[in-house]
Amino acid sequence: MTVLYDKVTLIGLGLIASSMGHAMKKSGLANTIVGFSQTKETRDMSLSLGFVDEITDTIEDAVSDSDLIVLSVPVGAMAAIAKIIGPKLKLGATITDVGSVKQSVIDMVAPHIPNGVHFVPGHPLAGTEQSGPTSGFPDLFKNRWCILTPLKNCNKEASARLKQYWEALGANVEYMEAEHHDLVLAVTSHAPHLIAYTMVGVADDLGRVTDKEVINFSAAGFRDFTRIAASDPTMWRDVFLNNREATLEILGRFTEELFDLQRAIRRGDGDQLFEYFNRTRAIRRSIIDAGQDTEAANFGRGSVE
Ligand code: NAP
């Protein structure tokens, strides 16, 4: 495969960065992959896992002479990092991020990027509930979407090359306005995570009352919630703090619908419940048809209950 960037720097070496590193190694997209993370433990582990060629002790050394810099840290950490590395970036380099929220990242990072360095924000819609350098794998982005939200004055060549890079990692790429991205993701990811966190919290409270019955006899529906609710607390705290407006908008709509269904249950309105569930079942079908999930029952995990 063609080398797209001579030197790539991964800042933050968790699930997303380690998956990028493994995928780059597999496809030969970069000549050198440099890594930096805040703890020495993560840096050493990343080097021993082999998804980076070099690690550096300082973030300034990591970005020096780099052609592509990827910010792969929690959204709340990006501003401080951009401030430190901004003056050290090479003229003509591209800097991107993989943050789950886009507008606030643009607001926080863009002011620190010097003229002549191309900032192209991005978000791969791929992940698991696991985190850290050991959790990555090369196929994480395969057939998943990566959304790029370039700024109005963005260098076309830089954004086209980054698109090519994500495609080489296995992703399908779509361009979007940052604000629109944040609304779409509030519906498809952020609000569902908050609902899962809440449901597991409620069940845990109840578990204390019923001597852990909720945990011991948890059925597939609840187990799926617990998988989502096991996601990294720092990452998700930062998502909600940085996508506040869109998440609150969707949660408002969610609450209205929930009250409506609650009323249907109270009134014994089976038709309303049936029609609603019939409509939502079709959504699952369309996700499978789009190749974004498996058709196998219970996500291919065997028995359902
Ligand atoms: P992760 O596995 O928890 O890893 C985060 C990494 O960032 C760790 O290596 C951590 O370092 C490092 N870090 C944190 N603060 C730092 C700082 N101030 N300076 C340098 N390094 C720092 O996280 P992830 O899942 O890869 O997520 C990274 C980004 O991708 C987030 O912005 C998230 O919103 C986005 N994202 C996540 C998913 C997902 O499903 N997980 C999907 C798409 C996008 P140490 O280990 O050294 O402490």
**Cα–Cα distance between 264 and 114 in angstroms, integer?**
57
Q: Which residue has the tokens 């792969």?
A: 72
- Determine if ligand 1 sits within 6 Å of the CB of residue 19: no
- Determine if ligand 1 sits within 6 Å of the CB of residue 136: no
**In the 8-state DSSP scheme, what is residue 298?**
G
Spacing, Cα 14 to ligand 1 middle (Å): 5
Spacing, Cα 18 to ligand 1 middle (Å): 10
Ligand 1 atom closest to the Cα of residue 101 is 34
Domain boundaries, the chain: 5-176, 180-268
Do residues 146 and 166 make contact, with C-beta atoms less than 8 angstroms apart? yes
Supply 292's token pair. Answer: 């974004």
Report the pLDDT value the prediction gives residue 301, as an integer from 0 to 100.
62
Residues in the chain: 305
Spacing, Cα 218 to ligand 1 middle (Å): 30
Q: Classify residue 216 by burial, with Cβ atoms within 10 Å: 0-12, 13-18, 19+.
A: exposed
What type of residue is 1?
M
- Determine if ligand 1 sits within 6 Å of the CB of residue 72: yes
- CATH 3.40.50.720 matches 5-176: yes
Supply 231's token pair. Answer: 């996601």
**Cα–Cα distance between 99 and 189 in angstroms, integer?**
13
pTM: 0.93
Q: Whose CA is nearest to atom 31 of ligand 1?
A: 74
**Cα–Cα distance between 117 and 98 in angstroms, integer?**
18
User: Which pLDDT tens digits describe the chain residue by residue (305 residues)?
Assistant: 789 999 999 999 999 999 999 999 999 999 999 999 999 999 999 999 999 999 999 999 999 999 999 999 999 999 999 999 999 999 999 999 999 999 999 999 999 999 999 999 999 999 998 999 999 999 999 999 999 999 999 999 999 999 999 999 999 999 999 999 999 999 999 999 999 999 999 988 887 767 677 777 777 778 889 999 999 999 999 999 999 999 999 999 999 999 999 999 999 999 999 999 999 999 888 888 888 787 777 666 655 44
Architecture of domain 180-268: Orthogonal Bundle (1.10)
Report the pLDDT value the prediction gives residue 285, as an integer from 0 to 100.
87
Phi and psi torsions of 30, nearest 5°: -135, 150
- Determine if ligand 1 sits within 6 Å of the CB of residue 16: yes
* Sheet strand arrangement including 172-175: 122-124, 145-148, 172-175
**Cα–Cα distance between 24 and 169 in angstroms, integer?**
7
Report the pLDDT value the prediction gives residue 136, as an integer from 0 to 100.
98
- Closest among 8, 120, 133, 25 to 63, alpha carbons compared: 8
User: Of 9, 15, 128, which is best to mutate to test ligand 1, by the most ligand atoms within 8 angstroms of its C-beta?
Assistant: 15
β-sheet bridge partners, residue 145: 172
Phi and psi torsions of 190, nearest 5°: -70, -50
List Cβ neighbours of 28 (8 Å cut-off, separation of 6 or more). Answer: 1, 3
Report the pLDDT value the prediction gives residue 298, as an integer from 0 to 100.
66
